[in-house]
């Protein structure tokens, strides 16, 4: 990784350059005077050449530095709304005005003299201000004035940051000046990132309230991209990666992956990522799921070359989803303490649901018998995120049905029985309307009484006794 000088070092370099320029002014003045004494130039020409004396340059430089130091505490940690050159000029004018006013007040000068002083000081202060802008332009886009970090117009989170400096974070806090990983590069729009970059991004999302399941999914997708592009990419590399993925996954999955990638690169401040568009997902007619479809799915799972207890766990997950309407991720995250097998109820805490709403789930006797046996086989945790994938991962072809379809079977069967839609919506976790929230007054026994009228079953009686 290329080591980049700290901003303080660049300011020191600018100071030495300024001294060199002032020394050149002294030499030039002496040379001009010598030309006049030798009769090579007239009095008029001499007056013009010395109209801006060296002492004014020195005072202008001091004034500019004074103005920057005055402004730095006011703007530290803020992303200004105008460009760096504008900021530099304003800082110069501000400092020149202050310096000229102070000098005029001390000397009691007239208004005319005061105006001339304001003009002279401002011109020289602007010159030094432009020098500061050049320093910022070719260096890190966040620089330090003493102890104050100053973020200059529109440069936050941009890909053109020099290697070796971490970009400022979205909370406006001071940037780190430690030499960190290379975040981005100018060459051909290439962006370099690492697992560390991904972890920082995910930590911010977690702090913002994203679920652990969402964080895991994001991490998996971004690490897959990183390995595919060797942790360095431009828009063409990402486009090629997505075209390859298009051959492997469904349109809906591809759209989700593009959303993940765009969210990550936008967080890094990469603007060209907006040119990548998500494919349109066609809304298809809802698939009708019948009991026979669920049974066929279980039969396909039974052909997997795994230990019998893992098939039984997957079978139990399918039955539980089909008779309760639970989402796959809600099942995977269940703890035994959430399940009251004897009472045929599951209390889902808010942090384990998609809608962040706590709710009660009811299941039937068929699921109760499977859960009883499952607790003997897996006493610590009933399910895992690989409950189904452990069986289907190596299957060719893969089952057409997925665990999420079992939830649809519950919903469609309930509707066919003509039972209250509002109760069903509450059981499956659709808290979309204010009126629906009134049903939270229903007790578990009230819900079970209505639930049992649906008579939802999956397997024949001979199979359900396993």
**Residue (of 347, 350, 327) closest to 335 by Cα position:** 347
Summarize the confidence of residues 260-283 as an average pLDDT. Answer: 82
Residues found in the chain: 466
Residue 24 has pLDDT above 90, yes or no: no
Sequence-distant (6+) residues with CB within 8 A of 156 are 79, 141, 142, 167, 168, 269
Q: Specify the range with the lowest mean pLDDT, choosing from 47-51, 62-66, 443-447.
A: 62-66
Q: What is the pLDDT of residues 117-176, one digit of tens each?
A: 666 655 555 555 555 555 444 444 444 444 444 444 333 333 333 333 334 444 343 333
Q: Pick the residue with more confidence: 6 or 377?
A: 377
DSSP state of 47: H
For residues 236 and 142, give the distance between their C-alpha atoms in angstroms, rounded to a whole number: 30
Q: Specify the range with the lowest mean pLDDT, choosing from 10-19, 32-41, 175-184, 396-405.
A: 175-184
Give the pLDDT confidence score for residue 76 in this predicted structure. Answer: 47
For residues 420 and 408, give the distance between their C-alpha atoms in angstroms, rounded to a whole number: 16
For residues 294 and 401, give the distance between their C-alpha atoms in angstroms, rounded to a whole number: 8
Residue 263 has pLDDT above 80, yes or no: yes
For the chain, list the domains and their CATH numbers: 7-151 (no CATH), 187-275 (1.10.150.130), 291-464 (1.10.443.10)
Sequence-distant (6+) residues with CB within 8 A of 317 are 328, 331, 332, 383, 387, 388, 403
Q: Specify the range with the lowest mean pLDDT, choosing from 22-31, 96-105, 259-268.
A: 96-105
Q: Pick the residue with more confidence: 145 or 55?
A: 55
Q: Specify the range with the lowest mean pLDDT, choosing from 60-64, 374-378, 388-392, 428-432.
A: 60-64
**In which band, very low, low, confident or very high, does the pLDDT at 7 lie, cut at 50, 70 and 90?**
very low
Summarize the confidence of residues 445-449 as an average pLDDT. Answer: 82
**In which band, very low, low, confident or very high, does the pLDDT at 379 lie, cut at 50, 70 and 90?**
very high
Give the pLDDT confidence score for residue 50 in this predicted structure. Answer: 59
For residues 267 and 261, give the distance between their C-alpha atoms in angstroms, rounded to a whole number: 10
Q: Are 95 and 65 in contact (CB under 8 A)?
A: yes
Give the pLDDT confidence score for residue 165 in this predicted structure. Answer: 39
Residue 11 has pLDDT above 90, yes or no: no
For residues 355 and 349, give the distance between their C-alpha atoms in angstroms, rounded to a whole number: 11
DSSP output for 152-170: -TT-TT-TTPPTT-PPPPT
C-alpha atoms less than 13 angstroms from C-alpha of 115 in its C-beta half-sphere: 3
Residue 192 has pLDDT above 60, yes or no: yes
Q: Pick the residue with more confidence: 19 or 465?
A: 19
Q: Pick the residue with more confidence: 209 or 285?
A: 209
Give the tokens for residue 447.
């819900």
Give the tokens for residue 102.
């102070």
Q: Pick the residue with more confidence: 406 or 173?
A: 406
Q: Pick the residue with more confidence: 5 or 72?
A: 72
Summarize the confidence of residues 206-224 as an average pLDDT. Answer: 81
Give the pLDDT confidence score for residue 62 in this predicted structure. Answer: 57
Give the pLDDT confidence score for residue 118 in this predicted structure. Answer: 61
Sequence-distant (6+) residues with CB within 8 A of 407 are 321, 322, 325, 326, 327, 328, 428
For residues 21 and 356, give the distance between their C-alpha atoms in angstroms, rounded to a whole number: 65
Give the tokens for residue 135.
């320093």
Relative orientation angle of helices 291-301 and 403-416, to the nearest 10 degrees? 160
Q: What is the largest CA-CA distance in the chain?
A: 122
**In which band, very low, low, confident or very high, does the pLDDT at 22 lie, cut at 50, 70 and 90?**
low
Q: Specify the range with the lowest mean pLDDT, choosing from 263-267, 375-379, 437-441.
A: 437-441
Give the pLDDT confidence score for residue 28 in this predicted structure. Answer: 72
Give the pLDDT confidence score for residue 371 in this predicted structure. Answer: 95
β-bridge partners, 191: 233
What proportion of the chain, given as a percentage, has pLDDT over 90? 12
Q: Which of 96-105, 212-221, 305-314 has maximum average pLDDT?
A: 305-314
| Average model confidence (pLDDT) across the chain | 71
Q: Are 362 and 300 in contact (CB under 8 A)?
A: no
Q: Are 311 and 391 in contact (CB under 8 A)?
A: yes
Q: Specify the range with the lowest mean pLDDT, choosing from 139-143, 163-167, 219-223, 267-271.
A: 163-167
Q: Are 255 and 153 in contact (CB under 8 A)?
A: no
Q: What is the pLDDT of residues 304-341, one digit of tens each?
A: 888 999 999 999 999 999 999 898 888 998 999 999 99
Give the pLDDT confidence score for residue 137 in this predicted structure. Answer: 47
Q: Specify the range with the lowest mean pLDDT, choosing from 203-217, 221-235, 296-310, 399-413.
A: 203-217
């Amino acid at each position: 990784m290329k080591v980049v000088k700290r901003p303080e070092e660049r300011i020191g370099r600018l100071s030495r350059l300024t001294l060199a320029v002032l020394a050149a002014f002294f030499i030039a003045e002496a040379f001009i005077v010598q030309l006049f004494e030798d009769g090579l130039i007239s009095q008029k020409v001499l007056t013009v050449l010395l109209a801006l004396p060296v002492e004014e340059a020195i005072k202008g430089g001091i004034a500019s530095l004074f103005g920057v130091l005055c402004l730095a505490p006011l703007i530290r940690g803020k992303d200004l709304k105008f460009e760096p050159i504008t900021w530099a000029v304003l800082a110069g004018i501000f400092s020149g005005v202050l310096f000229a006013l102070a000098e005029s007040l001390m000397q009691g000068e007239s208004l005319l003299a005061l105006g001339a002083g304001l003009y002279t000081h401002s011109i020289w202060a602007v010159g030094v201000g432009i020098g500061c802008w050049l320093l910022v332009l070719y260096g890190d886009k966040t620089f330090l004035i003493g102890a104050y970090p100053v973020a200059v117009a529109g440069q936050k989170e941009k890909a053109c940051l020099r290697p070796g400096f971490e970009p400022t974070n979205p909370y406006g806090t001071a940037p780190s000046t430690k030499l960190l990983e290379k975040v981005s590069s100018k060459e051909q729009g290439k962006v370099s990132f690492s697992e560390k970059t991904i972890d920082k991004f995910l930590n911010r999302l977690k702090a913002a309230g994203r679920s652990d399941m969402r964080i895991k999914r994001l991490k998996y997708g971004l690490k897959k991209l990183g390995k595919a592009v060797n942790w360095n990419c431009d828009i063409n590399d990402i486009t090629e990666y997505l075209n390859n993925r298009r051959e492997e996954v469904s349109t809906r999955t591809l759209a989700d992956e593009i959303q993940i990638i765009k969210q990550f690169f936008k967080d890094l401040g990469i603007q060209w990522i907006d040119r990548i568009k998500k494919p349109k997902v066609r809304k298809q007619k809802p698939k009708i799921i019948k009991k026979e479809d669920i049974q066929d799915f279980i039969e396909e799972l039974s052909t997997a070359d795994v230990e019998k207890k893992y098939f039984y766990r997957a079978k139990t997950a399918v039955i539980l989803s089909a008779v309760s309407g639970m989402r796959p991720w809600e099942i995977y995250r269940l703890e035994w303490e959430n399940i009251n097998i004897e009472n045929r109820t599951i209390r889902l805490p808010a942090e384990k649901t998609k809608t962040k709403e706590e709710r009660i789930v009811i299941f039937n006797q068929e699921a109760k018998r499977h859960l009883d046996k499952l607790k003997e086989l897996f006493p610590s945790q009933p399910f895992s995120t690989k409950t189904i994938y452990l069986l289907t991962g190596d299957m060719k072809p893969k089952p057409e049905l997925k665990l999420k379809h079992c939830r649809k079977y519950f919903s469609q069967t309930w509707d066919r029985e003509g039972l209250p839609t509002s109760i069903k919506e509450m059981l499956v976790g659709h808290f979309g309307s204010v009126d629906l929230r009134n049903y939270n007054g229903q007790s578990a026994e009230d819900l079970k009484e209505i639930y049992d009228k649906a008579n939802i079953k999956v397997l024949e009686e001979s199979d359900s006794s396993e």
